[in-house]
Amino acid sequence: MLNFGQAQRKVLFDAKASAERSGGKQYTVTDAATDYLKFLRSHRKSADDAKIKLDAYVIPKLGEKRVADLKPGDFDDWLEWALKRQARRKPKKPKPPPKRPRKKKAAAKPAKEPKRIEAAELKRRRKATVNRIIAMLKACLSYAHAQHKVPSRDAWSRL
């Protein structure tokens, strides 16, 4: 049971929280990504790819930040982190045994050496990947702005 004063405080607290939520003050990057993925699932085919990339690159570093509080410095820190981020490697699956044995050939060709990728090429690939992630992040945040959940897009407009 609440007395009259406690009930008034509870109603005011709930009204303030609701106003902050609708005004975008408690709207996090994770919320924006979730809304954007719902949009992609209903209108595009790229939702699964977008979810993988947002979960890998955006959510770990920026997910808990409120969109209204984002500053260009946050994106600079994120960009530095994303460029240094190690690529995840999937473990190779063992090959299943053949259904029927193959005939042996007289002279087997020597196995090809795996290509070694130069450091400059790896850096170029990393930048290209991060550029794709930036485009997806900007689309995600711009979608949130278009839905009136974020008051301004100044923080990410120059990303």
Provide the CATH number for the domain around residue 66.
Answer: 1.10.150.130
pTM of the model: 0.67
The contacts of residue 31 (CB under 8 Å, 6+ apart) are 67, 144, 149
- Answer yes or no: is 10 within a domain: no
- For residue range 88-111, what is the model confidence (pLDDT) as tens digits? 666 777 887 777 777 776 665 666
Full domain range(s) for residue 30: 24-85+118-159
pLDDT(118) > 80: yes
Task: Please report the pLDDT score of residue 85 as a whole number.
Answer: 79
Q: Is residue 17 part of a domain?
A: no
CA-based nearest residue to 29, from 85, 69, 73: 69
Count of structural domains, the chain? 1
Q: Is residue 106 assigned to a domain?
A: no
What does the pLDDT look like over 13-61, one tens digit per residue? 888 877 766 655 688 899 999 999 999 999 888 889 999 999 999 999 9
Assess if residue 54 is contained within a domain.
yes
